[in-house]
Amino acid sequence: MKIFPKSVDFFEIFDQAASNLTEATSHLMDLFKNITRLEEKAKIIYGIEQKGDTLTHEVMRRLNKTFITPIDREDIHALASAIDDVLDLIWGAVDRMTVFRITETMPEALEIARALHTTTEVLESSFGYLREKKYSFVHDNCIEINRLENHVDRIFRDALGRLFDDVKDPLMIIKWKEIYEHLEDASDRCEDVANILESIVLKHG
Amino acid sequence: MKIFPKSVDFFEIFDQAASNLTEATSHLMDLFKNITRLEEKAKIIYGIEQKGDTLTHEVMRRLNKTFITPIDREDIHALASAIDDVLDLIWGAVDRMTVFRITETMPEALEIARALHTTTEVLESSFGYLREKKYSFVHDNCIEINRLENHVDRIFRDALGRLFDDVKDPLMIIKWKEIYEHLEDASDRCEDVANILESIVLKHG
Amino acid sequence: MKIFPKSVDFFEIFDQAASNLTEATSHLMDLFKNITRLEEKAKIIYGIEQKGDTLTHEVMRRLNKTFITPIDREDIHALASAIDDVLDLIWGAVDRMTVFRITETMPEALEIARALHTTTEVLESSFGYLREKKYSFVHDNCIEINRLENHVDRIFRDALGRLFDDVKDPLMIIKWKEIYEHLEDASDRCEDVANILESIVLKHG
């Protein structure tokens, strides 16, 4: 019994899910860079979120039909759920932008989106390393993702401080607080993905 | 070894818990239909929440004392926790109504309560189908619950938009935002119950 | 095979983590008693949170390297995560105090901090009892923690009500609502720790 049998293609779906996630954060950066045509940009990210849903369901479906899995069942389940959560939260942030009729962007939102994009790129390469059993590379990536999450934490904290210091309108504060919270939460869930990857590596490494 | 031994009555407790949940959403509808005698109505829902707590503890207690379970231990645990979460969130929404001294209802709150009531009715029948091993019926119910959750998502989104568009008082916005969030969260937890049921069905079907 | 082999020192790390948590709530009480030198006090609690992070990673690292554990792997994992969550939320509350430039304390915040301190003392002694297999003592402690959590729930509820009744500034309401929510969440996570302890006791008792 090989640990990573070739026939099982969970890695392939995870590759697609991670690449889909990177696409979402790339569009998120665009959106916060230039808020014009918000509805149109939101629609694109919604499409990516829908594709992510399909991939998550595909993982779960195969998981329930497969007896031998390349990595522990609960880890596959947890990975798929966590990636799905990241995408849901990114979509949640974008959706709030349209519901709240936001017409101006915030520099901190773009900064977080940039960090999220780097994070998802690192996550995407981690899945490749996992498949190739380059565990020390996965490990290094996880450390990098933790560093990026701390970075987002600090931006979020500063953004919140500046929001209460500089913005006068309570409604605008409530709106942006909620958008920032979605983004920060997305970053937290990325760290969850990294933690699961880390524990998989520790088990096999 | 039978997969569903008659002697174990987890299904019985789940039936009671699901029926208790339906009772809660029924009272929730009443409350948002007509907000008079709020304290009195809240007290009734609190009693239902307390009964739910007892049922959850009963599941956990038996689970820890039982070696052979009709469905996977972790699924029983997850189901009981998720049902408990739904009830906690419904109670949380109602409790906020009294704490915030809300004196007028919102049409969207009633709309969500109606969808939650239908959702809990579908959940209740799902537990019956699970016991009777009518797995395709459970599966169809899960699809219906997912549809209802998407419906609640859209009502929540519109309610949030209208709140910021129409209501002028920031305090009222904060209050209703929090009540809506509890209701939307309750709907999310119902979907969690459905997802667990779906995965049980996939394992046995 | 002994159930609790002497060689494994997970209990030792949990003792340290629980004692670290008690130290955090002790400083939290101090802070809400007298808000002067907030930055300085916040820095101390941040140091405690960082130490907690190290202890959590240590548990996870050893867990992934150990085949035989004194208690179920998933329980060790869940305990370490839940303790980490409590500390994160306490730090989150303190951090918000500085970010929001809070200059006056609230009596309810001190009241919750006091209850949290008692809770963490009870948690700390529970880990001692668990190691010594004094399961009925662990059980009694868990009941006490549940009682304390209900107490915090009521303080939180009253604090929220008074906030909307007495405080006029919407920004101040948003700020304190968020601080209270972090504290109440910390109390919820303490109850999670107790629930895991309870289930461990039920399995072994």
C204–B contact, CB cutoff 8 A: no
Q: Which DSSP category does B21 fall into?
A: H
Whether residue A39 is predicted with pLDDT greater than 60 in this model: the reply is: yes
Question: Best interface-test mutation with C: which of A77, A149, A157 has the largest number of C CBs within 10 A?
Answer: A157
Is B5 among the domain residues? Answer: no
More confident residue, B73 or A34: A34
Q: How would residue A7 be classed by pLDDT, with cut points 50, 70 and 90?
A: very low
Whether residue B32 is predicted with pLDDT greater than 80 in this model: the reply is: yes
Is B1 among the domain residues? Answer: no
pLDDT digits (tens, 9 = 90+) for C24-59: 999 999 999 999 999 999 999 999 999 999 999 899
The 10 Å CB-count burial string (b at 16+, else e) for A77-90 is bbbbbbbbbbbbbb
pLDDT, position C199? 86
Mean pLDDT across B96-110: 97
pLDDT digits (tens, 9 = 90+) for A59-103: 988 887 787 888 888 899 899 999 999 999 999 999 999 999 999
Mean pLDDT across B69-87: 92
Whether residue A48 is predicted with pLDDT greater than 70 in this model: the reply is: yes
The 10 Å CB-count burial string (b at 16+, else e) for A59-70 is bbebbbeeeebb
Would the CB atoms of C61 and A202 count as touching at under 8 Å?
yes
* pLDDT > 90: percent of chain A: 82
Phi first, then psi, for residue B14 (nearest 5°) are -60, -40
Would the CB atoms of C64 and A199 count as touching at under 8 Å?
yes
Q: Which residues of A touch B157 (CB under 8 A)?
A: 95, 99
Question: Best interface-test mutation with A: which of C61, C65, C88, C171 has the largest number of A CBs within 10 A?
Answer: C171
Q: Which DSSP category does C100 fall into?
A: T
The chain C residue lying nearest B60, using CA atoms, is C199
Task: Outline where chain C has alpha helix (H).
Answer: 10-33, 38-65, 73-99, 107-131, 135-166, 170-204
Calculate the average pLDDT of chain B. Answer: 93
Mean pLDDT across B185-195: 96
Q: Which residues of A touch C175 (CB under 8 A)?
A: 164
Within its chain, how far is the Cα of B42 from the centroid?
Answer: 16
Is C2 among the domain residues? Answer: no
CATH number for the domain including C130?
1.20.58.220
Is B142 among the domain residues? Answer: yes
Q: How would residue A8 be classed by pLDDT, with cut points 50, 70 and 90?
A: low
Nearest C-alpha of chain B: how many angstroms from A148? 29
Our count of domains for chain B comes to 1
Rounded to two decimals, the ipTM of the complex is 0.86
* pLDDT > 70: percent of chain A: 96
Is A56 among the domain residues? Answer: yes
Opening angle at CA B18, ends A80 and B119, nearest 5: 65
pLDDT, position B168? 86
Is C132 among the domain residues? Answer: yes
CA-to-CA separations, B153 to B162, B181, B183, B184, in angstroms, rounded = 14, 10, 10, 7
pLDDT, position B100? 97
Is A169 among the domain residues? Answer: yes
Of A192, A88, B57, the closest CA to residue C85 belongs to A192
Tokens of B80: 């009981």
Calculate the average pLDDT of chain C. Answer: 93
Nearest C-alpha of chain C: how many angstroms from B81? 12
Q: What is the residue range of A108's domain?
A: 10-204
The whole-angstrom separation of Cα A14 and Cα A154 is: 29
pLDDT digits (tens, 9 = 90+) for C92-127: 999 999 999 999 999 999 999 999 999 999 999 999
Is B3 among the domain residues? Answer: no
Which residue reads 């009253």 in tokens?
Answer: C158
A4–B contact, CB cutoff 8 A: no
